[in-house]
Structure 1
């Protein structure tokens, strides 16, 4: 059988064996943590012990850990819930500040607010490596700060791995009393994350990105953070997230986080070495490949240690993905598909790349099971995949692109021709640079 290399750990990573065992053991125990009888109280004890464990690992208080079904729910609650709460207190606070390279769990939540709840959005631009411009943030905040409801800035980008100056942005927002949310789904367990020290009001994390189960995560919500619930029912989790808690999932999340944080520094150093080998090896192939995002060898303070992002002009990312998959290398591309038409990554467009450049992107993300052999297999498969993808692209259309159409706005709407204005949602839009 052909050997396989899984290099898509940013999408979901392998589950720790200890997590599988812990979840299975808890699944065998009955008890709703909201029940008052013996079994219910035992389940509640497990939940609260794990809540304390998670809080300690991420620099939070136990009361600040609100359990979720994952990162998407946490992002939606943070963005929409804090916007509604802020507007209830300050009706003139209609602006949402967020970057052009956020995950769609944030972008689509913002787009919903613009379309349905009278919000305005100020898009925070990023530089060529995908890092938000602090002067632009300052300017956007100081331009009528009373009109700003919430700021949302991811801790680390899921496509190019660039780590953002979250603490600095939180400090700027704090000068005006504005809450800041950060999507830290890609960061927690992989780089140092301290909720209290960061100064943010809200932080999203999830289990399956760090070796835990799918379907469980948390929103860290500072005690003075005001958030309106999106779901209503039993009033669990500080009244902002109703629903029976998944005790076994919470056990799995806490177990995975403890293991990931315990081995974080050693694993980051190992993965950064493999990442550097992947990136430098791809450059050495002399195929016209460039590195996407901020890369300094042996450094993981500015880029996630396991993220290797390649820009390969003259290719469609989807073609590269399938060709590499056929060669036993599983990775991903940042492109999206709307109405059957592939669209270039909004992240890369936000970084200033052309549509042609953005279409030829590959994301190879490394994890606990990645070895030197996986890196070598990917590098060995790249030349043939690039040659075939370029040949296919040159045959598809006179312009060399297999598809037509415009660019994609951060909110996900395809546009006809030219560059899209960020967040085209039918309301007032500003771009802070």
Structure 2
């Protein structure tokens, strides 16, 4: 799938193209069946039927009750609702004021937790991670107590691909009756999630990570989990998230999730083959390269590295010019590149962290795409290092 001339897309962790079947499922709800699901007439009834059908689909695939699915505007909103809603409610009810997160969370979680600490009197504490960015369950067991409002841990890391032991972490939280939230935005496209209520109380999803539309998400909220609504108004979504539901996008999300959790899991073998080909080629052909994240317990489509003596932003620019769309862990669009917080938390030095590269494949990636990439990348890394040496020699 080369949407832009001869460009090759290797940034599936950032977003995915919408599957044609998802577009087809959405189209009627933009035009013929356009009603507001809160309206009582036939137009509203049709929209409500589509809305609840989508909710049933997602709930069935997760093995939960449809009443435990709340639709939101995106994965970020789902994370925000989970952290803020549960933290405020548990503080009001029980005085619980500690928030435990890992230092390798997506900013949707880490920035939300930081704001709760800076402005609302919560105490933010970070769980320990190892050199692969994996959370240590023993450390959670050591510091958790009933005064914890919520624990939040990313399932499959968006930057380094590491898959966390969420079932073990969730059981520890349940033993202390502390709500456990999982950011499943990345993992929904690659890991089976049926039965997640056995190990978590909340889980966030975003449709555009699994070939659905941008601008729609969902939050699983296990029955009985205390949560304060963050959007008030008409009382939609069982009063948890007011606002007229985006029916076309919700229908699209349900279709995309169904595809991801059924046929999507069948393409894992090819994704892993492409991923491992990239990893082995980099390790064999580029000196001073280091794989980031766990070598095996990582998302099927995810390869990430740091390179000694390389500016990650400069590498992205050269890759883009060569026809490859990849990403980096540094803040490459701010004009003020900073080392990735995730990489620093794993013990990687700031200079090395600035040389990061994330390569994520997807269901439209081909073997030819991968072979072109692994033939070009070593040349570009060498070019950057040579330019750097020449500048130092002036």
Q: Which residue in the other structure is 2:366 paired with?
A: 371
RMSD: 1.7
Give the Cα separation in 2 of the matches to 1:3 and 1:196: 40
TM-score, L = length of structure 2: 0.95
Q: Which residue in the other structure is 1:327 paired with?
A: 322
Q: Which residue in the other structure is 1:103 paired with?
A: 106
Q: Which runs of 5+ in 1 are unaligned?
A: 297-301, 399-433
Question: Equivalences for 1:36-185 in 2 at 5 Å?
Answer: 36-91=40-95, 93-141=96-144, 145-185=145-185
Give the Cα separation in 2 of the matches to 1:338 and 1:396: 24
CA apart distance, 1:392: 3.9
CA apart distance, 1:26: 1.8
Q: Which residue in the other structure is 2:186 paired with?
A: 186
Give the Cα separation in 2 of the matches to 1:4 and 1:233: 45
Q: Secondary structure at the match of 1:208?
A: helix
- Over 3 Å counting, the alpha-carbon distance change for 1:393 and 1:193 in structure 2 is farther
- Over 3 Å counting, the alpha-carbon distance change for 1:99 and 1:267 in structure 2 is same
CA apart distance, 1:56: 0.8
Q: Which residue in the other structure is 2:355 paired with?
A: 360
Q: Secondary structure at the match of 1:276?
A: helix
CA apart distance, 1:3: 2.4
Q: Does 1:33 align with 2:52?
A: no
Q: Secondary structure at the match of 2:238?
A: coil
Deviations 1:29-81 (A, max 9, x none): 22000011111111111111111011111222100110011100000000111
- Over 3 Å counting, the alpha-carbon distance change for 1:270 and 1:222 in structure 2 is same
Of residues 328, 336, 346 in structure 1, which corresponds to 2:331? Answer: 336
Q: Does 1:314 align with 2:318?
A: no
Q: Which residue in the other structure is 2:228 paired with?
A: 228
Give the Cα separation in 1 of the matches to 2:210 and 2:359: 16
Q: Secondary structure at the match of 2:154?
A: coil
CA apart distance, 1:396: 5.9
Does the 8 Å contact 1:290/1:311 carry over to 2? yes
TM-score, L = length of structure 1: 0.87
Q: Secondary structure at the match of 1:3?
A: coil
CA apart distance, 1:125: 1.7
Q: Secondary structure at the match of 2:125?
A: strand
Give the Cα separation in 2 of the matches to 1:361 and 1:340: 16
- Over 3 Å counting, the alpha-carbon distance change for 1:229 and 1:386 in structure 2 is same
Give the Cα separation in 2 of the matches to 1:88 and 1:161: 36
Does the 8 Å contact 1:79/1:110 carry over to 2? yes
Does the 8 Å contact 1:69/1:216 carry over to 2? yes
- Over 3 Å counting, the alpha-carbon distance change for 1:161 and 1:373 in structure 2 is same
Does the 8 Å contact 1:96/1:119 carry over to 2? yes
Which one has a larger percent helix, Structure 1 or Structure 2? 2
CA apart distance, 1:338: 8.9
Q: Secondary structure at the match of 1:370?
A: coil
Q: Which moved more, 1:19-28 or 1:247-256?
A: 19-28
Q: Which residue in the other structure is 1:238 paired with?
A: 238
CA apart distance, 1:202: 0.5
Give the Cα separation in 2 of the matches to 1:178 and 1:247: 33
Does the 8 Å contact 1:329/1:377 carry over to 2? no
